[in-house]
Amino acid sequence: MKLISLLGATGSIGTQTLDVIKEHPAEFKLVAMSVGNNIGLARKIIVDFQPELVSVKEKGDIEQLAIEFPRTKFTYGEEGLVEIAVYEKSEVLVNAVLGSVGLYPTLQAIESGKIIALANKETLVTAGHIIMDASKKHNIPLLPVDSEHSAIFQALQGNKMKNVEQLIITASGGSFRDRKRSELENVTVKEALSHPNWSMGAKITIDSATMMNKGLEVIEAHWLFDMPYDKINVLLHKESIIHSMVEFHDSSIIAQLGSPDMRVPIQFALSYPDRLPLSSSRRLNLAEVGLLHFQEMDFNRFRCLHFAIEAGKKGGTLPTVLNAANEVAVAAFLEGKVTFLQIEDLIEKALSAHQSISNPDLTIIQEVDKETRQYVQTLL
């Protein structure tokens, strides 16, 4: 029985993590979780899973919940996230919270000896050097939850890192994969939100359409697998059936495939190094799929991918700027304040305006994150 803390329980990854826990009551138990503003869903989860500790976003939500659920302890805010992350009884932290707020709790959990199942991209994107150092120092496995990184992680099982020639991260191309750059001028939020393969949260769906998502994944892969950027490649594969691959130096490629279902990588992170049945997952029938397409990535078509890889290579605080600028720009797009292509422009401006600081500590990262958000706001 693995006892689990879950940050971001009401989000897309959070609820699918709960599905996995529910499917294996003898294997997994939720002991602590954080939720955002969706208190209705939080109530339902508390009833179903009986976590011992729950953190909400707003202090104001606690009083009523404490009355309704007298056997549950409640806490709140960013400190609440840390309390969930380091909750004494928990052995595994699933970090599925969105945004840079997920960083500090991850670090605290590593220092408390928790196994980390990481779905929060910002943790590695902005502070990969700090997180990986800590995970090595405390000998804590960092297990990927993203389908691409999980695919790579699965492909690496039983293999040695020294034999890796390159990582090949596949990209569906997102909502606008079949449109030319010139056709993106006037796309709507609704169009951008209809991802062809995956049902995900709004932010990540937009990141998928701009290809920033893939760029953040490249940076994550760099840290997770200790792989130089010139050994990480991105391949357009519109069916999202091959979730990613590893090429070894004997030219052999190991790939992980499946129907798009985030519960598979989530469960692999929780069951690792074993696998458990996931009977509710739709099995892939390749004869039914019939065709898999592959195409070279066009970095001019997807400028965000280029920005991300460049920011990753240069390092320092540039990935923090990239990420913060992207969060503000995507939010502005979702609110109808900027056009789709302006997301790229805002990120480019923020990156150009920034003087990178090398090897930043958490305080610097948080400051740069804040300053970037303020700066991009001034551009709206």
Q: Residues in the site for a second copy, rule: CB under 8 A?
A: 154-160, 163, 165, 168, 235-237, 242, 245, 247-259, 261, 264, 267-268, 271, 273-278, 281-284, 286-287, 289-296
Q: What are phi and psi of 318, to 5 degrees?
A: -60, -40
Task: Give the DSSP H or E segment for 92.
Answer: strand 92-95
Residue 238 or 354 having the CB closest to a second copy: 238
Q: Phi and psi of 243, rounded to 5°?
A: -80, -20
Q: Distance (Å, rounded) from C-alpha 162 to C-alpha 141?
A: 19
Pairing of strands 295-296, 232-236: antiparallel
Dihedral sign for Cα 95, 239, 19, 278, please: negative
- The DSSP secondary-structure symbol of 282 reads P
Closer to a second copy by CB, 1 or 161: give it: 161
The three-point CA angle 278-280-282 to 5° equals: 95
C-beta closer to a second copy: residue 226 or 361: 226
Q: Which is nearer to a second copy, 63 or 288 (CB)?
A: 288
Q: How far is the CB of 364 from a second copy (least distance, A)?
A: 39
Q: Measured from the CB atom, is 255 or 364 closer to a second copy?
A: 255
In this complex, which beta carbon is closest to a second copy, that of residue 234 or of residue 325? 234
Nearest distance in Å: CB 367, a second copy? 41
Smallest distance from a second copy to CB 168, Å:
8
| Shortest distance in whole angstroms from residue 268 CB to a second copy | 7
With helix as H, strand as E and coil as C, how does 174-189 read? CCCCCCCHHHHCCCCH
Amino acid letter for position 166: Q
| Beta-bridge partner residues of 6 | 33, 94
Least Cβ distance, residue 174 to a second copy (angstroms):
18
Could you tell me the smallest distance in angstroms from the CB atom of residue 297 to a second copy?
8
